[in-house]
Amino acid sequence: MTTQFELTEDQLAIQEAARKFTADRITPFAAEWDEKHIFPRDTIKEAADLGFAAIYVSEESGGIGLGRLEAALIMEAMAYGCPSTSAFISIHNMAAWMIDTFGSDDLKSRYLPDLVTMDKIASYCLTEPGSGSDAAALKTKAVLDGDHYVVNGSKQFISGAGANDVYVTMVRTGEDGPKGISCLVIDKDTPGVSFGANEKKLGWHSQPTAQVIFDNARIPVANRVGAEGDGFRFAMMGLDGGRLNIGACSLGGAQRCLDEAVAYTNDRKQFGKRINEFQNTQFMLADMATDLEAARALLYLAAAKVSANAPDKTKFAAMAKRLSTDSGSKIVNDALQLFGGYGYLQDYPIERFWRDLRVHSILEGTNQVMRMIVAREMLRQ
């Protein structure tokens, strides 16, 4: 930002490129993807042609080397068309960034060329059936056997499971708690890797979600990211960015529904006049716009802090994720209310955004956990 409140010319250009891609390649097709549960792999790969598969992967590794604010702008723009697809691309970016930032030169050379182009797509595997918010309690075990780890366990709610090619996976290589967790890069076709049935979800229909199951899967030690015991630290650093991106997806979805509501209330007539002439409607629209701008301002600030590695970056990422996802869902819900019965129909986009945004207050750390993080950071001061 050139000032506290303005985007730079480069940032505006990035935002415009993402908006144009969304208008041309996402928005016209998103309703069909949702209705028919289509995974738009070709469209996602087209996003990689713009660099959107490696937004904060370094230029040395083939990425476009941007910051977290630029990433948020891209995710927000794509979510205007389809929050589910935008969030899926965000997850791939997290996995690619983790390999680029913490992986060995050998690991980077083997994986990043295909991830940058999305010839291969990556999933991020942290959550387990028995460890969601308490991520440090994960049980998936990796036992060293010569120059391989033997991995057993399962991961839950994994976006892209069964469809994606690469799985950046947190495993337990040591003691209980966060210090015993390491990170492995696991290929889809590894013997002993299998996948559960595709989950039947409320929303996010444009991406598959399933369990990833490891049954004596042998993973080369060379596929470890960083040192043993560093995995949980990598995971938490990744989540700072992931929380910004999912918050940005909520902003994009909320902006779309606000725009739709403004247009609809201008056309819809009741009691002999347009419904946006009623003060109650005007007050709702004003509150929706105000809440959206407030959440956006906090999220952009948090993104700048994460890019700058500011000491309070984690607190601000948690604050921004909580506010953006809660506000986004409320704005979409209010838009549905303004549409009345029509908002409940699939003929209009509002109900799809209502379903897609609902999960944002759960994933990347529940919003209750976000409050815990903020309070913890405050009380440390």
Give the residue numbers marked as catalytic.
364
Distance of CA 304 to the CA centre of its chain: 17
The separation between CA 326 and the C-alpha centre of its own chain, rounded to angstroms, equals: 15
Q: Where are the beta strands (DSSP E) in 26-147?
A: 122-125, 141-145
DSSP state, 179?
Answer: G
Whether residue 185 contacts residue 96, with contact meaning beta carbons closer than 8 Å, is answered with no
Report which secondary-structure segment, H or E, holds 332. helix 313-339
**Number of residues that make up the chain:** 381
| Closest C-alpha to 340, from 284, 279, 272 | 284
How many other CB atoms are there within 10 angstroms of residue 129's CB atom?
12
Nearest alpha carbon to residue 326 among 376, 372, 360, 286: 360
Tokens of 83: 């929050």
One-letter identity of residue 89: I
Cα separation of 251 and 253, whole Å?
6
Look up tokens 């991406």; give the residue: 207
Number of H helices, E strands in the chain: 11, 10
